[in-house]
Chains A and B, each alone.
Chain A
Amino acid sequence: MIEIRDAVLNTELHLWGWEVAAYLFLGGLAAGLLVFASWAHLTGRRREFLPAVRAAVLLIPPIIVAGLFLLWLDLGSKWSPFWLYLTLRPLSPMSWGAWILLAVFVTSALAAAPAAHAEIEAGRWREAARWRRSVGRLSRWAGPNLRALAWANLVGGLVLGLYTGVLLGTMVARPALNSPLLGPLFLVSGLSTAAALLLLLVPGGPWGRLLTRAEVAAHSLKLVLLGFYLLGLATSTAYAQASASMLVRGAWAWAFWTLVVAAGALMPLGVALAELNTRRVTRAVAVSSYVLVLAGGLALRVVLVYAGQRGL
């Protein structure tokens, strides 16, 4: 029997808080929107899905900026984040993540320029009228290069979605986080939250059925990955097993089972399947389901960021 009598040994180290969890959520959301918009462009379905694609491309840059703001808010030293862009450290996921965010912000902003210019020209964005010339210039440059930008955004979106999970997954000293499955899990979760957001904001249209199908695939894959993730922890070291039991029946179990699994995946999966098969789902139920997907996506990051702070 070992009894630790020094309280200082048992203190939880404060690592990352809600800012990082929310940043990872927004990163995944932006990644999902990037993949959808780029895919629609590259497969020639941009015109068919225009309202949804327009909403996606216009949402991505502000979402990335909001994510970067949260990341900055979490930093201990608020005046020195520029050091991230004076170094490139290939073995540090946070370093290449900073560069990915910058690159994706630039390419997504360029891809959004024609849509933003059209909004300003149509007089719908009166507050942005003074930016008309600058946005117009960007739009003229981006217009002929939209296909190249779509490729860049597709790759950037996939890498960004994976990165949000890899950032946590490479923390070898935190057994609950140290899993290679977190990258794919966060990417799939990001895709599902993006689909839910688009279905929430731009209902109806030919994109509805496609996005609902994407929801079914993403939720199913998410459940499989969550299962393998827990299995990986349960069959690993004693530290990892303790982390798994914390998620399954410990302090974070209620949030994990109710918010992440039930509300974030099982219930929306049921609603999406019903929608595809019977088409008898009311708008109220569908909206609730989309909100649950978004809440579940956020809960996944919050639970893993907080529960994962338990060290070796």
Chain B
Amino acid sequence: MARLAMAVDLERCVGCQACAVACATENEAPDGFVRRRVGEAVAGDSLVDLRLQFLHMQCYHCENPPCIPACPTGATYVNRDGLCLVDYNICIGCRACVAACPYGMRYPHPRGFVDKCSLCDHRVYSGRQPACVETCPTQALTFGDLDDSRSPISRAVLEARRVEQDRPETGARPKFYILNGAVGCAEVRR
């Protein structure tokens, strides 16, 4: 039993998109769809006040995920380590989970089921890191068990100057931590 989660240190992120490319390659995302993407937001009212923030978007593997009760067949579920996963054999492609996700992190796969980030569970359970984390050239992405105080993610969250989660008001309690952002999450609107 673990509480697997992910964090991004925005002071380290350079927006190179290597994580998005690694994710699409590793998980064979179909043309036009991605499980992970990095966007950017510019904040500030004047030239001297301009701030740039990269937005990392993927399934947040929430602790109270609204997609789970929405699924009529039980295809989407949370495993023993807190990963929110989709059983593609049971998914009927009704898209109720897509409608229920407050972060818009799921997409209908052309093959009929709904797809999203699995935190590369196939790699994690063979002792490796998710593809995006392994690829990141600046080590901005961190992955690990939140219940283990010695894990890289626990240390990163503890040592960060600023720790945020995307729109906590949704009540979904995302397990994706945004560290050291120049722009507050509340300021960034999609």
Contact = CB atoms under 8 A, between A and B. Distances in A.
Contact of A76 (B34, B94, B103): B94
Contacts, number: 125
Given A76-B108, A76-B109, A89 B74 contact: yes
A88 to B, nearest CB: 9
Contacts of A8: 34, 37, 39
A163 to B, nearest CB: 12
- Residue from the set B45, B72, B113 with the largest chain A CB neighbour count within 10 Å: B72
Given A1-B45, A94-B96, A173 B102 contact: yes
A173 B44 CA distance: 28
A284 interface: no
Interface stretch (B85-93, B125-133, B151-159): B85-93
Contact of A83 (B40, B92, B112): B92
A172 B90 contact: no
Identify which of B41, B94, B167 gathers the most chain A CB atoms within 10 Å of its CB.
B94
Interface stretch (B5-13, B63-71, B138-146, B174-182): B63-71
B98 interface: yes
B153 to A, nearest CB: 25
A14 B108 CA distance: 8
Contact of B95 (A10, A76, A78, A312): A76
B66 A173 contact: yes
A117 interface: no
Max count, chain B CB within 10 A of own CB: residue among A10, A14, A171, A174: A171
B103 to A, nearest CB: 8
A224 interface: no
Interface in A1-27: 1-6, 8-10, 13-16
B102 A4 contact: no
Interface in A83-120: 83-84, 86-87, 89, 91-92, 94-95, 97-98
Contact of B114 (A76, A97, A311): A76
B189 interface: yes
A87 B74 contact: yes
Interface string B40-62: 11111100000000010100000
A179 to B, nearest CB: 14
A288 to B, nearest CB: 36
A8 B71 CA distance: 26
A91 B189 CA distance: 30
A76 B104 contact: no
A81 interface: yes
Contacts of A98: 72
Nearest to B95: A15
B39 A92 contact: no
A312 B96 CA distance: 15
B69 to A, nearest CB: 4
Given A83-B92, A91-B69, A173 B100 contact: yes
Contacts of A278: none
B20 to A, nearest CB: 10
B101 interface: yes
Interface in A63-79: 74-78
B188 A83 contact: no
B30 to A, nearest CB: 12
A76 B114 CA distance: 8
Interface of A: 1-6, 8-10, 13-16, 74-78, 80-81, 83-84, 86-87, 89, 91-92, 94-95, 97-98, 170-174, 177, 237, 309, 311-312
7 contacts: A5-B39, A15-B95, A76-B108, A77-B91, A84-B73, A92-B69, A173-B170
The 5 closest A-B pairs by CB, nearest first: A76-B93, A6-B39, A77-B112, A91-B69, A95-B72
Given A87-B72, A172-B66, A237-B169, 19 more contacts: A2-B41, A2-B188, A8-B37, A13-B98, A15-B95, A16-B95, A75-B93, A78-B112, A80-B89, A80-B92, A81-B92, A91-B69, A97-B72, A173-B100, A174-B99, A177-B99, A312-B103, A312-B167, A312-B170
